[in-house]
Amino acid sequence: MQTDRAVYGLGDDVEMSYRVTNFGEEDVTFNFTSTKLSHFTVQTEGNGVQEIIWESDTDAWDDPMDFPLQPYGFSESLRKFGL
């Protein structure tokens, strides 16, 4: 997982790249039974109290899937979402 910047502010768009790579010497099949790859929470901490100011579930792929990868092959998905 990689983003296009290191720091974001509220209202900014985030571009996130997800990559699955087969570093092995044999074909491998990856099985994803859910499209949900991650859950993000942005929170602020003031006066010792944490307040959630933004949350999002992120879909990495459009549909649950199985896919084979040849040795050193990869599959990549780019998603953009707003804070």
Average confidence (pLDDT) per 10 residues, the chain, 83 residues: 82 84 89 64 66 61 73 85 75
How confident is the model at residue 55, as a pLDDT? Answer: 62
CB 45 within 8 A of CB 67: no
The whole-number pLDDT of residue 64 equals: 58
CB atoms near residue 60 (< 10 Å): 20
**pLDDT of amino acid 54:** 62
The total of structural domains in the chain comes to: 1
Query: Containing domain of residue 77, as a range?
Result: 2-82
Q: What is the pLDDT of residue 31?
A: 75
Both tokens of 77, joined, read 């998905």
Contact 20, 69 (CB under 8 A): yes
